[in-house]
Amino acid sequence: MTDLRDRFRGVIVGTAVGDALGRPVEGRRRPRLDYLDDMAERFSFFPYSDDTVLTVALAESLLACDGFDGADMARRFAEAWRAEPHRGYGRNVTAVFEAVLQGLPWEEAASRQFGGGGSYGNGGAMRVAPVALWAFPDLDETVRLATRTARVTHTHPVGVEGAILQAVAVHHALGDNFTAAALFDDLDRIAHTEEFRTRLKRLAVCVDRDDDECARLHLGHGVAAHTSVLTALFAFLVSADFEQTVLRAIGLGGDTDTIAAMAGAVAGARWGHRSIPAGWSKVENHDRLVALADRLWERTLPEGQAPP
């Protein structure tokens, strides 16, 4: 049985690994995977994108503030972007960050996007994995906190719900007795937008068929939350281990770094850090990511108990 600390590490490192390995082929419809061997030979480490940068910033905000503080989280996101704008940030979210750095309250900055409708992109979902660790084992708190962290940048109901469903998937995968049936029950109970409710039915069909083309056509592989969150979950549900999950996620094409990051988070929760292939541990800042996961895990220890 995988121990909980190893699973926490798997969530954080798994996010970064999926992100880093998917990044070079982002935008391709059916990427070939032979580039991964070349990466392992040519690079001393695998750089990740904004997906992991914001995942780390979210976790560090929760730890520093002992819970959710929207102003602190928005500031950390904005400062991370300002320090390294080359990480692949979308143009709309950088406008939010610019506004925050200029002093606009984060709630107003986020709600301005798309004429006041808010973003329904997958940005809230790609970084949400630490929420499941912070709230573990409380599912209701996972949902509440995922909602709040998403709204720092994504206020459209679909963008928010994407973050919720991804966090719920990580929550379930952390459990000792994971079953797809129990996960589907909770996703069906929690999902309210038509976009996700429709695709949850399609997800069940694609998983039953174990069919990547079904996933591409009927779940999608784009940057919108409803065209990527369940695609990542498909890759996890049809795979037997961490490596297979990430390879399936990348092979689905499209927004490969984010889809693989989300799939890697769920797979890391299920099979743990030790399940990540040794060659993939060359991900950027690996030791820092492990230490961050350990800080989140230490919160699960009984009060007064020192970590082993």
Mean pLDDT calculated for residue range 164-190: 97
Using a pLDDT cut of 70, give the percent of the chain over it. 98
Determine the Cα–Cα distance for residues 7 and 275; give it in Å rounded to an integer: 10
Q: Roughly what angle, to the nearest 10 degrees, separates helices 256-271 and 50-65?
A: 50
Six-digit token pair at 245? 């999950």
Q: What is the pTM of this model?
A: 0.96
Mean pLDDT calculated for residue range 208-215: 97
Q: What is the pLDDT of residue 116?
A: 76
Q: Roughly what angle, to the nearest 10 degrees, separates helices 4-22 and 50-65?
A: 150
Mean pLDDT calculated for residue range 173-197: 97
Determine the Cα–Cα distance for residues 216 and 203; give it in Å rounded to an integer: 11
- 162 or 92, greater pLDDT: 162
Q: What is the pLDDT of residue 38?
A: 81
pLDDT beyond 60 at 164: yes
pLDDT tens-digit map of 229-278: 999 999 999 999 999 999 999 999 999 999 999 999 999 999 999 999 99
Q: What is the pLDDT of residue 217?
A: 96
Q: What is the pLDDT of residue 2?
A: 65
Residue of 247, 235, 244, 241 whose CA lies nearest to 210: 235
Cis peptide before 85 (omega within 30 of 0): no
Q: What is the pLDDT of residue 1?
A: 47
Mean pLDDT calculated for residue range 171-179: 96
Q: Give SS3 for 262.
A: helix
Confidence of residue 303 (pLDDT cuts 50, 70, 90): confident
pLDDT tens-digit map of 84-127: 999 999 888 999 999 999 999 999 998 887 777 778 899 999 99
Q: What is the pLDDT of residue 304?
A: 65
Mean pLDDT calculated for residue range 21-44: 87
- 283 or 92, greater pLDDT: 283
Q: Give SS3 for 283.
A: strand
- 167 or 28, greater pLDDT: 167
CB-based contact 250:281 (threshold 8 Å): no
Average pLDDT over all residues of the chain: 95
Mean pLDDT calculated for residue range 287-293: 98
Confidence of residue 9 (pLDDT cuts 50, 70, 90): very high
pLDDT beyond 50 at 188: yes
DSSP secondary structure string, 10-67?
Answer: HHHHHHHHHHHHHGGGTT-SS--STHHHHHHHH-SSB---HHHHHHHHHHHHHHHHTS
Residue that has been written with the tokens 């999950």 in this structure: 245
- 34 or 143, greater pLDDT: 143
Handedness of CA 259, 262, 263, 264 (dihedral sign): positive
Largest Cα separation within the chain, whole Å, is 52
Q: What CATH code is assigned to 4-47+120-298?
A: 1.10.4080.10
Determine the Cα–Cα distance for residues 292 and 218; give it in Å rounded to an integer: 36
Mean pLDDT calculated for residue range 284-289: 97
- State phi, psi for 224 to the nearest 5 degrees: -70, 145
Distances (CA, A) of 183 to 103, 166, 170: 41, 11, 10
Q: Where do the domains of the chain lie?
A: 4-47+120-298
The burial of 90, by beta-carbon neighbours within 10 Å (0-12 exposed, 13-18 middle, 19 or more buried), is given as: middle
pLDDT beyond 90 at 199: yes
Determine the Cα–Cα distance for residues 250 and 227; give it in Å rounded to an integer: 14
Confidence of residue 34 (pLDDT cuts 50, 70, 90): confident
pLDDT beyond 90 at 44: no
